[in-house]
Chains A and B, each alone.
Chain A
């Protein structure tokens, strides 16, 4: 991309940034995301000590000054587990997005740019993966790979890959006919350079929107797997797994199930608000 192209790109990002700053709900979402990130990064400072160490004599205590969100069935403070749980869900969300991006984006670029048999092959594999709803695909992959943090990330990440392939391919199909791509091709620029230096920067905005929405979905899917007992395993403080074990105590200690759910809800809501805001800033026609 030449100097003018870079300047245009800068202006575009600036316009999006200004629009985003005017959107109150997107700002609220961004604030929640900052709190979520800080809580994950500062977990050992905010709640020193092990969040998994049991203290059976204090089990199922309601919220109090000492334990603002109460304690769980093993007497562990729920607030501490939620704070440490934000680390786990952040690791999962980032990991899932990395899997989706690293596999989906290059395949989408190649599929859209080269077309022909390569495109046909990649699209049929994408069709195959899209034949299953996302959560069920992740569930099927967990059944094969097994439970645990790494397999949770891999399974949900693979279920995100077809979304990125379709998104990037669609954008590339339009961009590859642009004059600057033809000009780059005419002066003998290598395909890899065209793809990564000229085309990729122009698909970054839709990828960013999808990434924000995808982070929310990843947290929701991971919590779902954890809740079913086939995601991250106890005693790791994962929000979904916390809800899963709280089910048994819902009749006599409903607070155990209430707070981890609010944490999941707020984390997903924040990424959805930011994603919606980004989409509105990108194209007002998409405003719903």
Chain B
């Protein structure tokens, strides 16, 4: 098991290098002087010169990259051109909000998506199957930001049950997390249905049935356990979609998370902040993929011996 974890951790290194390269070249692709871009339009020549020296922009490109990696390792992401605060400080302040939203949404999506997919697979081509299939297609095709706005119209404007945005109590989390979960739940339901249909047609299911086991035991103990790997994969992959969706959902509900921060930074051309938030999103996505791979080994013992 330890060997598997170590191997999987090693595989993460090239991805991290990839993320760092993309961030490094992102600023260099911009027209003009990167120091000027990072310092912002209101910066004085002295501030621009300080940034140029800090980044070593007059040195060869490989040295610049090495120094960039060094700063990344120390989580030194510079100062925000908009607020003049350290980028990392602003990111830490907002990260918990995005994680709270993402975790609530993914939990909701699993809570509804997996049972819906199972019901759909157990009664294929029944009315419940058609409802789940149509609902899943609608979920995949619906713009999250529009759904968010419509939820605000119904639950905040007309019924006045829930707040339209911001943070505070648990009521503030409901609408944003439903909005964010809507997109992911569809993928989870579709994948659960497909893998459960396959598992239910396997020989081991027939054997379990011929042994006289109850349908509940067959579905939960035999079919679902075997169908879990692709479901976990899809949940992990959907986390990426969720991060993208978080940018839009946070904007709709004025939720002070990383998504809102990146949009504000793009609008203000605050490149240090853009770089920092993209780095954190990339790291989060990589860590989730790593966690998914490690969960495989727990769920399916065959994997860790490969």
Cα separation A140 to B19 with both chains bound (whole Å): 12
Partner of B281, one of A132, A227, A268: A132
* Bound-state Cα–Cα, A206 to B153, Å: 40
Contact of B247 among A124, A216, A228, A272 (CB under 8 A): A228
A220 on interface, CB distance cutoff 8 Å: yes
- Once A140-B26, A143-B274, A230-B266 are accepted as A-B contacts, the answer to whether A131 and B143 lie under 8 Å apart by CB is no
User: Given the interface contacts A136-B243, A251-B157, A261-B146, does A227 sit within 8 Å of B18 by beta carbon?
Assistant: no
B243 close to A288 (CB less than 8 A): no
Specify which of B153, B240, B285 is in contact with A254 (CB 8 Å cutoff).
B153
A268–B139 Cα gap in the complex (Å)?
A: 11
In the complex, are the beta carbons of B15 and A288 less than 8 A apart?
Answer: no
Confirm or deny: B88 has a beta carbon within 8 angstroms of a beta carbon on chain A.
no
User: B-facing mask of A124-155, CB < 8 A → 1, else 0?
Assistant: 10011101111110011011100000000000
Q: Is B153 a contact of A128 with CB atoms below 8 Å?
A: no
Give CA–CA (A134, B247) in the complex, Å.
12
Selected contact of B146 from candidates A128, A135, A243, CB within 8 Å: A243
Residues of B within 8 A of A260 (CB): 146
B22 touches A144 (CB 8 A): no
| Interface residue? A223 (CB, 8 A) | yes
Q: Are the CB atoms of A136 and B143 closer together than 8 Å?
A: no
Stretch from B44-52, B190-198, B217-225 forming part of the interface with A: B190-198
* Number of A residues, CB within 8 Å of B: 44
Instruction: Evaluate contact between A132 and B285: CB separation under 8 angstroms.
Output: yes
Is A258 part of the contact surface with B, judged by Cβ < 8 Å?
yes
Q: Per-residue 0/1 for B27-49: is the Cβ within 8 Å of any A Cβ (1 yes, 0 no)? A: 00110000000000000000000
Cβ-defined contact, A250 with B143, below 8 A = no
Beta-carbon contact of B137 and A269 below 8 Å: yes
Q: How far is the CB of B120 from chain A (nearest CB, A)?
A: 10
**Interface set of B (CB-CB < 8 Å, partner A):** 14-15, 18-19, 21-22, 26, 29-30, 137-138, 140-143, 145-147, 149-150, 152-153, 157, 190-191, 193-194, 240-241, 243-245, 247-248, 251-252, 262-263, 265-267, 271, 274, 278, 281-282, 285-286
New contact pairs (19) apart from A131-B18, A131-B286, CB-CB < 8 Å:
A25-B137, A128-B22, A133-B241, A136-B243, A136-B278, A139-B244, A139-B247, A224-B248, A227-B145, A229-B267, A230-B267, A243-B146, A247-B252, A251-B157, A257-B150, A261-B150, A265-B138, A265-B143, A268-B142
